[in-house]
Amino acid sequence: MGALGVCLLFVFVLLRPHEFLPALRSVSPLNLATLITLLGLGTDWVQGKLRSFHIAQGGLYTLYILWTFTSLMATVGASTLSLLGPTLVFPALYFVFTAYAFRTLGRYRAAMLTLLAIMVVIACVCVMQAKGPWECVVLDEESRGELTGKACEHYRECLTKGAASSRWLCEKVGPLGSFSTDGRVRWIGVLADPNELCMVLAASMTFVFAMRAPKKTPITLIVTTLAPFVACMFASGSRGGMLTYVIVFGVYFVRSYGARGLLLAAFSALPILAFGGRSGGEESTMERTETLHEGFLFFKTHPLFGLGHNQFPENWFITAHNSYLLAAAELGFLGLVLFLGLIWYSAKIPFAIARSRSPLLSQEIRAYGLALGVSWLGIITSIFFLSMNYHPAVHVFFGLSAALYSNAKDQDPRFRTTLGLNDWAALVLVAAIILTFIGVYSTIKVSHG
């Protein structure tokens, strides 16, 4: 039942049916899913199914959380502790719940299928949204949009007497009350940003290759499932998302099919590279470059503790648009190294499983390892252009790596992968390189206007 509860959490956090089905709101779906998860995990523990409380990245994750609290108390104090729910407490719960709930291959398969199904539905809705009509949308006090059914070509056509122009939009509308942002398709809730939507799409669509392990997945199933993902990314205009698409499938196809895979990845990427991305993004690019520069200056001024958790937007008008810089600016150099450690360890686990020579590990778990490892390559790429440190999806993927590690230990008790001194030395070096690159690049770009 714990796995059922977490799958429901995936549905309510990512798909958010209670947003377009008001009847669900009366049952407090997130609270209900959390209660089912806790009851299920408790039942698993009583029945002896939850044999160990160990989580692969548990110690490192705890250290990261403790440092976050330490830096916050050292910089801002306790005044913001009540605001940590959405950005720290809830993501940590998603990590722990996911790590514990899917410790059998059957449950792990259910988790991957659930995430894949959710993202297929969202991608299909966004594809229909891209083909939808332009209509007037009015924003409420919480910036949620209400469709008016009035056709438009510009938001000025939507204005009513005495209404603030900032509350009216002219956007493409799709099913389930969805609508675009500046004509770029998106979903709602935590996937309301087109770029963040693309990241989760890229991280989830690799699961289709693992679903029929150890058999080869028919090419028709691959194309049918992936078509809405690719179309959605194309319609989103996300340049970072398209780069992630190329990297994810380039690596996966080469790993799985050799030279033929390289040709297939290149062929499938051509339309994205040729026609994807949005035009007129120079202003956005310069704005982000200035933000990188400010973030680097924040780090230079506060290299030990940073600004404090969630304080970047309090000191600048937008967020960092770079998860690595955000970690450094808010948590200092040690915070960045810990964040990189979590990312690297979570990526190292599935690749270690996929490459293991242990005869005890099944082809199925190896396939899951390869799929999740490639997902992490997509995440690592995407978050260089996005502030995803507190995004629920990233912490769910932390949990998926932990759960996969537990499955591998069940099959082969001798299986083990950790972060050694060489890993930490490399992470410190990578942190220094990232900060140096951002500092030099943003300084040159800003100084030359």
Q: Kindly report, residue by residue over 306-315, the tens digit of the pLDDT.
A: 999 999 999 9
Helix (H, G, I), strand (E, B) or coil at 85: helix
Sorting pLDDT into bands at 50, 70 and 90, what band is 280?
A: very low
Has residue 58 got a pLDDT over 90? yes
Has residue 269 got a pLDDT over 60? no
Contact in structure between 244 and 382 (CB atoms under 8 Å): yes
Instruction: Give the residue-averaged pLDDT of 358-387.
Output: 92
Instruction: Give the residue-averaged pLDDT of 185-213.
Output: 88
Instruction: Give the residue-averaged pLDDT of 254-261.
Output: 61
Residue among 396, 449, 275 at smallest CA distance from 6: 396
Sorting pLDDT into bands at 50, 70 and 90, what band is 259?
A: low
Instruction: Give the residue-averaged pLDDT of 405-413.
Output: 96
User: In the prediction, which pLDDT does 263 show?
Assistant: 60
Contact in structure between 389 and 339 (CB atoms under 8 Å): yes
- Check whether the bond before 214 is cis (ω within 30° of 0): yes
Has residue 240 got a pLDDT over 80? no
Distances (CA, A) of 146 to 13, 130, 141, 162, 182: 21, 18, 11, 18, 16
And the tokens for 287?
Answer: 């704005």
Contact in structure between 366 and 353 (CB atoms under 8 Å): yes
Question: Over pLDDT 70: what percentage of the chain?
Answer: 89
Residues linked to residue 197 through DSSP beta bridges, in sequence order: none
Instruction: Give the residue-averaged pLDDT of 275-292.
Output: 69
And the tokens for 289?
Answer: 């470059």
User: In the prediction, which pLDDT does 336 show?
Assistant: 98
Instruction: Give the residue-averaged pLDDT of 317-335.
Output: 95
- C-alpha angle 208-214-216 in degrees, rounded to nearest 5: 60
Contact in structure between 130 and 181 (CB atoms under 8 Å): no
Has residue 25 got a pLDDT over 90? no
Q: Which residue has the tokens 């196809």?
A: 253
Helix (H, G, I), strand (E, B) or coil at 280: coil
Q: Of 285 and 104, which is predicted with more confidence?
A: 104
And the tokens for 277?
Answer: 């991305």
Per-residue DSSP letter, 138: E
Has residue 319 got a pLDDT over 70? yes
Has residue 327 got a pLDDT over 60? yes
User: In the prediction, which pLDDT does 212 show?
Assistant: 65
Instruction: Give the residue-averaged pLDDT of 401-416.
Output: 96
* Domain ranges across the chain: 1-51, 61-130+192-447
Per-residue DSSP letter, 249: H
User: In the prediction, which pLDDT does 159 show?
Assistant: 81
Sorting pLDDT into bands at 50, 70 and 90, what band is 230?
A: confident
Q: Kindly report, residue by residue over 422-431, the tens digit of the pLDDT.
A: 999 999 999 9
Sorting pLDDT into bands at 50, 70 and 90, what band is 279?
A: very low
Q: Of 33 and 277, which is predicted with more confidence?
A: 33
Q: Kindly report, residue by residue over 166-179, the tens digit of the pLDDT.
A: 678 899 999 998 99
Helix (H, G, I), strand (E, B) or coil at 149: strand
